[in-house]
Amino acid sequence: DTGVSQDPRHKITKRGQNVTFRCDPISEHNRLYWYRQTLGQGPEFLTYFQNEAQLEKSRLLSDRFSAERPKGSFSTLEIQRTEQGDSAMYLCASSLPGLATDTQYFGPGTRLTVL
């Protein structure tokens, strides 16, 4: 399968613990996005990478959140000192290096539950 992959698919953690999620975009897609989706809501933008450069971060991305994309391939999203309000589905998407309106292809998501 050559789609966007995310790991793990599910993560249960206790409040205060750190968690890290991984996203592998479609090969040759240099644009990579992270979104967060809470229950009953549409996804909300978190951050955007073009190659290895993080070019935009949402105000939703507090200091406890950090994202990286070393070498412009896979990306990681880390949440430090998790809170119950962090429970959500974390979605990754990638798109081609062409127009910004190019289709974003989404991964299956990582569902985080903070107890």
Partner 1 sequence: AQSVTQLDSHVSVSEGTPVLLRCNYSSSYSPSLFWYVQHPNKGLQLLLKYTSAATLVKGINGFEAEFKKSETSFHLTKPSAHMSDAAEYFCVVSEALRSNTGKLIFGQGTTLQVKP
For binding to partner 1 (CB under 8 A), which residues are involved? 3-4, 31, 33, 35, 40-45, 48, 55-56, 91, 93, 95, 99-109
At its nearest, how many Å lie between partner 1 and the CB of residue 72?
A: 16
What is the CA angle 93-96-98, rounded to 5? Answer: 135
Minimum distance between the CB of residue 35 and partner 1, rounded to whole angstroms? 8
Pair 71, 52: CB distance under 8 Å? yes
Query: Between residues 2 and 100, which has the closer beta carbon with respect to partner 1?
Result: 100
Closest to partner 1 by CB, 72 vs 108, is: 108
Give the span between the Cα atoms of 10 and 19, in whole angstroms.
Answer: 11
